[in-house]
Structure 1
Amino acid sequence: MNAFECLGHDIYAVDAGYVRPLLAAIHLVVENGRVAIVDTGSKGALERTLDALKILRLTAASVDYVMLTHVHLDHAGGAGQMMQAFPQARLVVHPRGAPHMIDPSRLLAGVTAVYGAAEVVRLYGKILPIEEQRIILATHGSRVDLAGRELLCLDTPGHARHHVCVRDGRSGNIFTGDIFGLSYRELDTDGRQFIFPTTTPVQFDPAAMHASLDLLMGLRPSALYLTHYSEVREVAAKAARLHGLIEKHVSIARSERNAGDERYPRIRAGLVDLLLDEVRRFGCRLSPTRVLELFATDLDLNAQGLVVWLDTQS
């Protein structure tokens, strides 16, 4: 994929410029000259989004909605800047996520505890608050009207309790944030796309993740738009694979339940083996070293998420 690409149905992917090329996508939905933006990236993403609008011969005044799948900063860090730049826009966000957009201090404190203050500034820049009166709560089944085009919000926990997906009424396809995992374009092989789950450091819930996948598949989309990274096809087969991989994540965690301080490194090592086995099964020709470079942060976060999840189990 390119840094800006048309996916059909007047849906466009914009590389958010987060960490490396083709890691995080911003998606634009365009209808009769009006725009909805799904996820915002973080530092530097506004400029890339404005460039995409120029290519489409649209302006900041064309943006009616900024929609967040959830408020993790690689998805929502740029929301405050975009809401300043798009004065007519409303922010659409899960009710659990809205307070963190109004006052991002707790969100910043949490991510700073994980990465450190200097790294947060490097990755995300300045996180700006958003006025409460500009926020629409994305409850399950709520609908946003984009110039007559329906965008349906779906409550989809499992990765985070404040996670929503957005179903596009024209195409029937769905913007999935992180609930449908990761599909990095570097691993594409012979026209096929790799898939791998993503947990989260504090809110991984495997039962909810399974249910959310089933909800999405019940709507029979022909394609899904992931934040990491953009369009995937053959979605039923990928969903089945994700169900199995979620259970393998759980099994790895449970096997290290009693490992004490060694839980995290042992779980991460198990995830490395799982990832490399999946890549070999898939037939990807990237070297193991390159695969582990691409997934380094994800392996860290998945292992952290599983450790926290273990602590919630009786």
Structure 2
Amino acid sequence: MNVTDLGFSVSLIDAYDLEKEKRTGSYVLHEEELTIIETSASPSIPFILKGLKELGVDPLQIKNIIVTHIHLDHAGGVGLFLRSCPNAKVIVHPRGERHLADPSKLIQGAKAVYGDKFDSLFDPILPVPEDRLIIMQDGDTLQIGENRILTFIDTPGHAKHHFSIYDSFSKGVFTGDTIGVLYPQLFEKGVELILPSTSPNQFDPDAMLESMEKIASFDIERIYFGHYGMTSNPQHVYEQLKFWLPKFMAAGEKVWCENPNASFEEKNDSLFNLLFEEIMSYLTEKNISLDGDISDIIQLDLTVGSMGIIDYLLKKNQ
């Protein structure tokens, strides 16, 4: 089984992104207007379809497919998934619409980051027909059941094309990557670790904190992460972001000042090492060691996150 019942008529399907458990998930809201939030990348679509089958959900029933933002690990598979969901519309941030209709720039940008790994991670990326795209502006709402209204919240910081979705029934927010990544593999070790997602090329630390405050203003009771799963302790999430984000930025500034003539790749490597040491030290103090998939996932996140921080500092110092 790759499906988890989260209560409040919400199910989480493990999409096995990067062929790893508990990396990226799709949420199913079991309402009259059956709604899916996040599709992950195209290689994840067979796992999502399998999860729907386990839930007894026919893709023909799906009315809404929502992507929090258009990064390929969240929306790269939407075009392929849509082929199985002929009655569904795709809901996207205003800044993301044209890129789902024509994903050529998304493909180009991802190839620049992931290089030779692109095909295995993301292929194929299919366009979404324009007549099946719906834009939601900040504050727009969508009623999908008698007691369930979704409110769309513009939440930049991770990306300018990012919204989060407040769910009135569960009093939860689907936050994508805006306020971080949750690592449920560490739950059994007694740690709820949330790290900021600082990937290129629209990362903005100030906007990220402003988005966090915007989300917190809804007085929520749970957070549904794109990576991965749910917490019913929103206050801890806010504390983690306010703890780690300044550390990430301080490490970035240190690398930038100490290696002014280094290449982007050299700065990125240096920053990765600093951040990984910080996190290892934090976990060691709690008598936790990293191994297996969780170590791989955190290292990948820090590699891409370091790129975003260096890219941000490069633009800031131009």
Would you call these one fold, judging by a TM-score over 0.5?
yes
> Following the alignment from structure 1 to structure 2, what is the Cα–Cα distance between the partners of residues 161 and 181?
15
Residue type of the alignment partner of 1:285: I
Partner of 1:263: 267
Which residue, out of 283, 294, 307, partners 1:279?
283
* Residue 24 of structure 2 corresponds to residue 27 of structure 1: no
Cα RMSD after superposing both structures: 1.8
Residues 208-219 of structure 1: matches in 2 within 5 Å? 208-219=207-218
Residue type of the alignment partner of 1:17: Y
Residue type of the alignment partner of 2:29: V
CA contact (8 A) 2:142 2:149 kept: yes
Residue type of the alignment partner of 1:298: D
How far is 1:190 from its partner? 5.3
> Following the alignment from structure 2 to structure 1, what is the Cα–Cα distance between the partners of residues 52 and 294?
33
* Residue 306 of structure 2 corresponds to residue 303 of structure 1: yes
How far is 1:274 from its partner? 1.7
CA contact (8 A) 1:18 1:43 kept: no
How far is 1:291 from its partner? 5.3
Q: TM-score, normalised by structure 2?
A: 0.92
> Following the alignment from structure 1 to structure 2, what is the Cα–Cα distance between the partners of residues 56 and 292?
31
> Following the alignment from structure 1 to structure 2, what is the Cα–Cα distance between the partners of residues 265 and 245?
19
SS of the counterpart of 2:126? coil
> Following the alignment from structure 1 to structure 2, what is the Cα–Cα distance between the partners of residues 169 and 243?
26
SS of the counterpart of 1:174? strand
**Further displaced range: 266-275 or 62-71:** 266-275
> Following the alignment from structure 1 to structure 2, what is the Cα–Cα distance between the partners of residues 284 and 151?
41
> Following the alignment from structure 1 to structure 2, what is the Cα–Cα distance between the partners of residues 252 and 205?
15
Residues 152-171 of structure 1: matches in 2 within 5 Å? 152-171=151-170
Partner of 1:119: 117
> Following the alignment from structure 1 to structure 2, what is the Cα–Cα distance between the partners of residues 291 and 14?
19
> Following the alignment from structure 1 to structure 2, what is the Cα–Cα distance between the partners of residues 74 and 123?
9
CA contact (8 A) 1:276 1:288 kept: no
Partner of 2:131: 133
Residues 53-72 of structure 1: matches in 2 within 5 Å? 53-72=52-71
> Following the alignment from structure 1 to structure 2, what is the Cα–Cα distance between the partners of residues 289 and 127?
29
Give the direction of change, closer, same or farther, for the CA distance of 1:183–1:304 in structure 2 (3 Å limit). Answer: same
CA contact (8 A) 1:188 1:284 kept: no
SS of the counterpart of 2:40? coil
Partner of 2:4: 5
Residues 16-55 of structure 1: matches in 2 within 5 Å? 16-19=15-18, 20-32=20-32, 34-55=33-54
**Further displaced range: 131-140 or 189-198:** 189-198
SS of the counterpart of 1:31? coil
> Following the alignment from structure 1 to structure 2, what is the Cα–Cα distance between the partners of residues 24 and 109?
22
Residue type of the alignment partner of 1:214: E
Partner of 1:181: 180
What are the superposed Cα offsets for residues 15-58 of structure 1, whole Å, 9 maximum, x if unpaired? 112111111111111114x3111110113333222223333332
How far is 1:158 from its partner? 0.4
CA contact (8 A) 2:95 2:161 kept: yes
CA contact (8 A) 2:189 2:288 kept: no
User: Where do 5+ consecutive residues of structure 2 fail to align?
Assistant: none
Residue type of the alignment partner of 1:226: F
**Further displaced range: 48-57 or 157-166:** 48-57
CA contact (8 A) 1:4 1:13 kept: yes
What are the superposed Cα offsets for residues 94-133 of structure 1, whole Å, 9 maximum, x if unpaired? 11111110000110011111212x4211111211101111
> Following the alignment from structure 2 to structure 1, what is the Cα–Cα distance between the partners of residues 287 and 135?
41
> Following the alignment from structure 1 to structure 2, what is the Cα–Cα distance between the partners of residues 215 and 81?
33
What are the superposed Cα offsets for residues 165-208 of structure 1, whole Å, 9 maximum, x if unpaired? 11111111011101121111211145542111110121110000
Residue type of the alignment partner of 2:157: G
> Following the alignment from structure 1 to structure 2, what is the Cα–Cα distance between the partners of residues 136 and 191?
41
How far is 1:162 from its partner? 0.5
> Following the alignment from structure 1 to structure 2, what is the Cα–Cα distance between the partners of residues 123 and 287?
24
Residue type of the alignment partner of 1:305: G
Partner of 2:235: 236
